A and B are shown apart, each in its own frame.
Chain A
Amino acid sequence: GAGVSQSPRYKVAKRGQDVALRCDPISGHVSLFWYQQALGQGPEFLTYFQNEAQLDKSGLPSDRFFAERPEGSVSTLKIQRTQQEDSAVYLCASSFLTTSAGPSDPRYGYTFGSGTRLTVV
């Protein structure tokens, strides 16, 4: 597609419910990132995929958070037993480059999706 697509745009979950957030990256983009943005804050890194491999999950806040990208394209971020502090906008970004290409590459850049706003009540 022309951009990074995320669904659903909005999700209201009752505390304790499991949720799944979907990201469709730009076709051919190798790298995929998930970020969490709390209200009034900048995005914070959650996890990174290069193709189907999850190379960095250091930002996942707890073992209730799980992400996958089984075929190296669509990714799903799953949150189990949601809690109120999970309320945030979840942003997905994709990039043509791999991590090893480095930020000095002139093709460096990300495309962000519009995000999923999760509200846990």
Chain B
Amino acid sequence: KQEVTQIPAALSVPEGENLVLNCSFTDSAIYNLQWFRQDPGKGLTSLLLIQSSQREQTSGRLNASLDKSSGRSTLYIAASQPGDSATYLCAVPISYYGGATNKLIFGTGTLLAVQP
């Protein structure tokens, strides 16, 4: 059974710092991995999607890496800003019968606070 964990559960950094959020998964046979952002009282916004054949994806100040063999992904945020404060969630699709579905297993999230 696929399990997804995120470390740390919470993180507070001063503005301008570079930071890394971690995501681990137990079953390396994943099709892709997504990073989402969730603001209080809001839904999830997709940040980056890494296909299993890729090692990293970049969008602006965000860079996500994927190492399937070790069951890990990292989200790197450069030059953090107070507006980056949110909960960050990683998720992988559940696969069964050798196929893939769009049903996601989420980690518990990392609550990030960037202090001005």
Contact = CB atoms under 8 A, between A and B. Distances in A.
Interface residues of B, number: 28
Interface stretch (A12-20, A64-72, A77-85, A106-114): A106-114
Given A103-B100, A104-B31, A91 B106 contact: no
Contact of A42 (B32, B41, B91, B102): B91
A110 B100 contact: no
A44 B103 CA distance: 9
A42 B43 contact: no
Interface string A93-105: 1010101001110
14 contacts: A4-B43, A41-B108, A41-B109, A48-B101, A48-B102, A95-B102, A97-B102, A102-B31, A103-B32, A104-B100, A110-B44, A112-B45, A114-B43, A117-B41
Interface of B: 4, 31-32, 36, 41-46, 49, 51-52, 89, 91, 93-94, 99-109
